[in-house]
């Protein structure tokens, strides 16, 4: 029996919350930032001095270009690190807090977020991402509390 749109959205929200708590997004972003920092170091502090050490070679614009590219790579790395701690911080909460108590556990730990399901068309990945449901999901943040409600705002198309 196919899952309802609400069930699909709730499953996606729980999956997003688990991924957010695990910190894989933070780790991936910091890895990319480290790669950009290494590229910046290589260009500015290794390749540029090497090119400058070649005698009788008028490469003012080349060494300046290497310095600029190295600094740009460092800037990208810094922006990625800053963005990672703001957007992919595993210590922050999933979703936005809402007023009220959980109907199951009675604690004030309800969080809400808009979720959109993305999936491939079965058997046809070349067709791209199919249209899927979108809605607002409310989850309880209390450990072991199974409370989850979804309100579909854009239903999935009928087959």
pLDDT of 1:
43
Q: Is residue 111 part of a domain?
A: yes
Domain end call among 37, 71, 87: 87
Q: Is residue 75 part of a domain?
A: yes
Judgement on whether residues 77 and 56 belong to the same structural domain of the protein:
yes
Judgement on whether residues 70 and 102 belong to the same structural domain of the protein:
no
3-class secondary-structure state, position 38: helix
Judgement on whether residues 37 and 81 belong to the same structural domain of the protein:
yes
Average pLDDT value for the chain: 86
Residue 145: burial class (beta carbons within 10 Å; 0-12, 13-18, 19+):
middle
Domain end call among 55, 87, 119: 87
3-class secondary-structure state, position 107: coil
- Around 7, how many Cα atoms within 13 Å sit in the side-chain half-sphere? 4
Domains of the chain: total: 2
Judgement on whether residues 31 and 82 belong to the same structural domain of the protein:
yes
Q: Residue 2 pLDDT more than 60?
A: no
Q: Token match 């990945």: residue?
A: 125
Write the DSSP symbol of residue 47.
I
Judgement on whether residues 29 and 14 belong to the same structural domain of the protein:
no
Judgement on whether residues 82 and 98 belong to the same structural domain of the protein:
no
What is the mean predicted confidence (pLDDT) over 17-42? 90
CB-CB neighbours of 30 under 10 Å: 17
Judgement on whether residues 64 and 100 belong to the same structural domain of the protein:
no
- 44: domain range? 24-87
Please state, for a pLDDT cut of 90, what percent of the chain lies above it. 39
What are phi and psi for residue 102, nearest 5 degrees? Answer: -70, 130
Q: Is residue 44 part of a domain?
A: yes
What is the mean predicted confidence (pLDDT) over 116-134? 71
pLDDT digits (tens, 9 = 90+) for 60-104: 788 888 999 999 999 999 999 999 888 877 777 888 999 989 999
What is the mean predicted confidence (pLDDT) over 11-23? 86
Q: Residue 132 pLDDT more than 70?
A: yes
What tokens were used for 74? 């460092």
The residues facing 150 across adjacent strands are 137
């Amino acid at each position: 029996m196919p899952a309802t749109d609400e069930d699909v959205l709730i499953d996606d929200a729980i999956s997003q919350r688990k991924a957010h708590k695990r910190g894989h997004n933070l780790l991936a972003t910091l890895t990319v930032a480290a790669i950009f920092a290494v590229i910046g170091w290589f260009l500015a502090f290794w390749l540029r001095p090497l090119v400058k050490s070649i005698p009788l070679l008028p490469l003012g614009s080349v060494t300046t270009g290497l310095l600029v590219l190295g600094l740009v790579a460092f800037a990208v790395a810094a922006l990625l690190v800053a963005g990672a701690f703001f957007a992919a911080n595993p210590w922050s909460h999933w979703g936005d807090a809402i007023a009220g108590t959980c109907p199951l556990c009675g604690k004030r730990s309800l969080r809400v977020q808009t979720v959109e399901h993305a999936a491939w068309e079965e058997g046809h990945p070349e067709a791209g991402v199919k249209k899927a449901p979108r809605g607002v999901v409310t989850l309880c943040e209390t450990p072991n509390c199974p409370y989850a409600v979804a309100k579909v705002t854009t239903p999935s198309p009928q087959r």
